[in-house]
Structure 1
Amino acid sequence: MRRAIYPGTFDPITNGHLDILRHVAGLFDEVTVGILHNPSKSPLFPLDERVRFVRDATKQYPNVRVASFSGLLVDYCRANSILYVVRGIRNPADLQVEMQMAQMNESIYPEIHTLFIPTSPTYSFVSSSLVKDVAMHGGSVGEFVTDVVREALADRLARRG
């Protein structure tokens, strides 16, 4: 069975993330969207909400599963027999950072392979951080996220004042 992981914090998941997932869902028997719990980051949404958002957004893909993890990606991959890591690339800066991570992962776990998937030009400028920033300032983000995420953003930001 060919397994891949698409890791990230997904705070929140965007249509750009889903564009990458759409490309890879047909390439593997199983794709795990691995939502990272990173204690050094302060996400807007707690882990359980991010998992719920991703599950809702990926329900049309029968071979996609959603899991959360902490620690090293390579340790999760090794424990779950995953040999492929999927990374979305929006621009040359992304590629530079992702290449460095891929090489570090391969040096730790030589069996692992990283696939770089370029995002559609439609989403090449979209990031979770930018979506949150636009929403925080009252801008419309409906074309960049699912309805569930859009509503959660509006609710969360309204409660923050």
Structure 2
Amino acid sequence: MQRTCLFPGSFDPVTKGHIDIIQRSVALFDKLVIGVGINSNKQPMFSAEQRVGWIREVFAGDSRIEVVSYEGLTVDFCRKIGAQFILRGVRYVSDFEYEKAIADMNRMLESSVETIFLPCTPEYSTISSTLVRDVIRNGGNVDLFIPKEVKW
């Protein structure tokens, strides 16, 4: 059986922290699907198409990685793509507490999907898409925080 993992997120925009988690986790699975979530209650800074395109460009040539956008419950999307695992990166204890609550809910909704937590490397622990968007809105330089493929 192919071990398929979903790494869901908004990736608005994708950061070097996201890239680190993806690069370190891809060897653990036969296939890693990066799911750019579309939440109708949130207004992203960048379109889903831009976000998917950037991630595809970063990982072009790696056949183990697929990038798609999706709407709805993450566990429903896992069923659709045959994913047995959900990958979540954690930076701090507060991230873990929040992510564990989601993982517990997902487990109750779909017991066959296991959530895997991967801590980020220390150099990326302070990077978040929220902070990057704030720097962008205020005209700051975000080159240290995002891959070179992210352009707007």
User: TM over 0.5, yes or no?
Assistant: yes
Q: Quick one: distance in 1 between partners of 2:88 and 2:32?
A: 12
Matches within 5 A, 1:122-133: 122-133=123-134
Give the match for residue 34 of structure 1. Answer: 35
Moved over 3 A (4+): none
Give the match for residue 92 of structure 1. Answer: 93
Q: Is the 8 A contact 1:106 1:112 kept in 2?
A: yes
One-letter amino acid of the counterpart of residue 40, structure 1: N
Q: Which runs of 5+ in 2 are unaligned?
A: none
Q: Quick one: distance in 2 between partners of 1:54 and 1:64?
A: 10
Q: Does 1:83 align with 2:72?
A: no
What TM-score, normalized to structure 1?
A: 0.91
Between stretches 27-36 and 134-143, larger displacement belongs to 134-143
One-letter amino acid of the counterpart of residue 135, structure 1: I
Between stretches 53-62 and 125-134, larger displacement belongs to 53-62
Q: Is the 8 A contact 1:25 1:61 kept in 2?
A: no
Q: Quick one: distance in 2 between partners of 1:87 and 1:27?
A: 13
Give the match for residue 72 of structure 1. Answer: 73
Give the match for residue 158 of structure 1. Answer: none
One-letter amino acid of the counterpart of residue 75, structure 1: D
Cα RMSD after superposing both structures: 0.9
Q: Quick one: distance in 2 between partners of 1:118 and 1:61?
A: 23
Q: Could you tell me how far 1:62 is from its partner in structure 2?
A: 2.2
Q: Quick one: distance in 2 between partners of 1:60 and 1:91?
A: 32
Q: Quick one: distance in 1 between partners of 2:113 and 2:10?
A: 20
One-letter amino acid of the counterpart of residue 87, structure 2: V
Give the match for residue 62 of structure 2. Answer: 61
Q: Quick one: distance in 1 between partners of 2:133 and 2:62?
A: 26
Q: Quick one: distance in 2 between partners of 1:19 and 1:28?
A: 16
Between stretches 136-145 and 125-134, larger displacement belongs to 136-145
Q: Which runs of 5+ in 1 are unaligned?
A: 153-161
Give the match for residue 110 of structure 2. Answer: 109
Report which of the two has the higher share of helix.
Answer: 1
Q: Quick one: distance in 2 between partners of 1:135 and 1:14?
A: 13
What TM-score, normalized to structure 2?
A: 0.96
Q: Could you tell me how far 1:60 is from its partner in structure 2?
A: 4.6
Q: Is the 8 A contact 1:3 1:30 kept in 2?
A: yes
Give the match for residue 48 of structure 1. Answer: 49
